[in-house]
Amino acid sequence: MKVTIHPSQLKGNVQVPPSKSYTQRALAAALLRKGETIIYNAGKSNDDLAALHIIRQLGAKISEQDDGIKIVSNGDVRIEGDAEINFGESGLGARMFTPIISLSGQKVVLNGEGSLLKRPMSFFEEVLPEFGIRVKTENGKLPITIRGKFNAKKAVVDSRLVKSGPGAKMIIDGSLSSQFLTGLLFALSKSPEPVVISVKNLVSANYIDITIKVLEQFGLASVSNTFRYERLVIQSKQPVPGVLEYTVENDWSSAAFLLVAGAIAGPITIRGLDLNSVQADKAIIDVLISVNAGIAIEAKGIKIHPSPMKAFDFDATNCPDLFPPLVVLAAYCDGRSHIKGVNRLAHKESNRAIALQKEFGKMGVKIELNDDIMIIHGGKGVKGATVHSSYDHRIAMACAVAALKAEGTTTIEEAGAIKKSYPGFYNDLKSLGADVS
């Protein structure tokens, strides 16, 4: 799929799509909660649909209604016979559902598609055996074969945590991705005894905030933590009986592209965002304010319009999904901007730092990579070009937003990659007046 974007002036209002981080976690929680759950405002991205398919395979009964998704579950993970489960291209799906699937006690082959087959999964080889699971990977990547039933009582007690009370105790490295810990927390919500975990070098802690929030909202577990997850205790709970109604909040990761689009080609108003959200990508607001973007936060939405913008320095280590929209913003700021956290980009849908450097280079924007720092030379003009998404949804959206005020026409190859997270992205740009074909 190719998309062509001509320089455009934007105007109007746009509603932000649902968060796939929340949607996928809510679907997992609905599977583990005994009873009926109705999820409103669920996302429709490919990653969301993959999660919906997975919980159906794991025993949930699903019926889609006009205003929501009804999920009925007995609270267990049930798989009949040996099975294969495909995560599509969802990194969160693979890392969250693998420990959940191990609750079934069945032999299961776990697989994926596209870029997911290249993403590291060795965490499971290191950690799941401590819970009684035999794990075989393909050199630390998918496909994974698991055997055995997840049992927290089998976890090796770490001597550094022996004074923490009853239940399993362990220390986990969180430096690669918080998604692995998310999956472990969901599985541990079924443990009959409290579990103490010490997490070292945790990145993207805000995503663990989301996980804990969902676990507690669904009544699956209570989680206490000290010193920003250096020590946390998870205690299973009995969910409150009856129908649980849950509304997914909207997505700051998607909103970041719309906000930057408004800053370079507005004025537009973006609606549906929770300013009290724990989503890490809400930090885009702080950056926009720091560069002097024309932004006003009002009750009916966030208004944003073009204004002369200055270069910025920002640490995106804990919100790496902001790199692509921040690169677009930096390209239109006067001077050199510095973004820290490049090391977090190697194992995304693409090697995102290299992809940004290559594709924005085609558009006349110089990007340097200096160890963990990305340096963007902005204010020198953006040129229309033929670029490639690198099969990465966020690269496609970044190029599309950059094209709005480029000199000349931009064509994006493999532009359909956006379906992974924001399938309505191009239509939303069109609704704001963008010339997209």
How confident is the prediction along the chain (437 residues), in pLDDT tens digits per residue? 999 999 999 999 999 999 999 999 999 999 999 999 999 999 999 999 999 999 999 999 999 988 899 999 999 999 987 789 999 999 999 999 999 999 999 999 999 999 999 999 999 999 999 899 999 999 999 999 999 999 987 665 454 444 445 555 678 888 888 999 999 999 999 998 888 888 888 889 999 999 999 999 999 999 988 777 888 889 999 888 899 999 999 999 999 999 999 999 999 999 999 999 999 999 999 999 999 999 999 989 999 999 999 999 999 999 999 999 999 999 999 999 999 999 998 877 779 999 999 999 999 999 999 999 999 999 999 999 999 999 999 999 999 999 999 999 999 999 999 999 999 999 999 999 999 99
**Pair 97, 85: CB distance under 8 Å:** yes
pLDDT confidence of residue 162: 43
State the Cα–Cα distance between residues 215 and 136, nearest whole angstrom. 29
Instruction: Output the pTM of the full model.
Output: 0.95
State the Cα–Cα distance between residues 357 and 21, nearest whole angstrom. 27
Name the active-site residue from 251, 321, 392, 428. Answer: 321
Is residue 66 annotated as a catalytic residue, yes or no? no
Longest distance between any two alpha carbons in the chain, whole Å: 65
pLDDT confidence of residue 168: 55
**Pair 214, 183: CB distance under 8 Å:** no
pLDDT confidence of residue 154: 67
Domain boundaries, the chain: 2-17+251-436, 20-237
**Which are the contacts of 287, defined by CB distance < 8 A and separation ≥ 6?**
312, 314, 322, 326, 329
State the Cα–Cα distance between residues 408 and 33, nearest whole angstrom. 53
E strand residue ranges, 56-117: 61-65, 68-74, 83-86, 108-111
Query: Residue 340: enclosing H or E segment and its boundaries?
Result: strand 335-340
pLDDT confidence of residue 155: 66
**Pair 35, 69: CB distance under 8 Å:** no
Domains 2-17+251-436 and 20-237 share a fold: yes
Buried b (16+ CB within 10 A) or exposed e, 75-95: bebebeeeeebbbbbbbbbbb
State the Cα–Cα distance between residues 370 and 74, nearest whole angstrom. 52
CATH architecture of 20-237: Alpha-beta prism (3.65)
Torsion (CA) 385, 350, 44, 111 in degrees, nearest 10: 150
CA angle 170, 175, 181 (to 5 degrees): 50
CB burial class (10 A; 0-12, 13-18, 19+) of residue 154?
middle
pLDDT confidence of residue 248: 99
CB burial class (10 A; 0-12, 13-18, 19+) of residue 109?
middle
Query: Residue 215: enclosing H or E segment and its boundaries?
Result: helix 205-217
CB burial class (10 A; 0-12, 13-18, 19+) of residue 427?
exposed
CA 174 to mean position of chain CA atoms: 16
Residue 196 bridge partners (DSSP)? 169, 233
CA 395 to mean position of chain CA atoms: 15
CATH class, domain 2-17+251-436, is alpha beta
pLDDT confidence of residue 327: 99
pLDDT confidence of residue 67: 87
